[in-house]
Amino acid sequence: GENVEQHPSTLSVQEGDSAVIKCTYSDSASNYFPWYKQELGKGPQLIIDIRSNVGEKKDQRIAVTLNKTAKHFSLHITETQPEDSAVYFCAASQGDMRFGAGTRLTVKP
């Protein structure tokens, strides 16, 4: 089955800096790669997703890149703000969605 590795487990940045979270997956058949943000006391919420026919996708300060050959994908957050502080999960799916272990991002004002 699919195995998703996510790094780093914790990330602390200064407000205004960029943050990058990286994930690798094992199943070359995976074709859907969403990213979820979980705030304290809430469930994960989808923030951006990318499909295997696209190499990059951007939505305002958030971007995701996908390298299918290397089987890795990354989340990039630019101009970070304190409200970006949360736990971020990557996932990969070829029919069954599998999640990474999460990255706790802290943005210091």
Partner 1 sequence: EAGVTQFPSHSVIEKGQTVTLRCDPISGHDNLYWYRRVMGKEIKFLLHFVKESKQDESGMPNNRFLAERTGGTYSTLKVQPAELEDSGVYFCASSVGDGGNSPLHFGNGTRLTVT
CA–CA gap between residue 44 and residue 72 (Å, rounded): 21
CA–CA gap between residue 7 and residue 85 (Å, rounded): 16
Question: Is residue 102 a contact residue for partner 1 (CB under 8 A)?
Answer: yes
Cα→Cα distances 56→51, 100, 104, Å: 9, 20, 23
Question: Is residue 12 a contact residue for partner 1 (CB under 8 A)?
Answer: no
CA–CA gap between residue 99 and residue 102 (Å, rounded): 8
Question: Is residue 93 a contact residue for partner 1 (CB under 8 A)?
Answer: yes
Q: Which is nearer to partner 1, 8 or 16 (CB)?
A: 8
Task: Determine which residue in the list 22, 71, 98, 106 makes contact with partner 1, applying CB under 8 A.
Answer: 98
CA–CA gap between residue 101 and residue 109 (Å, rounded): 26
15-54 residues in contact with partner 1 (CB under 8 A) are: 31-32, 34, 36, 41-46, 49
Give the number of residues in contact with partner 1, rule: CB under 8 A.
26
Read off the tokens for 57.
């996708």
User: Binding residues for partner 1, per CB under 8 A?
Assistant: 4, 6, 9, 31-32, 34, 36, 41-46, 49, 89, 91, 93-102
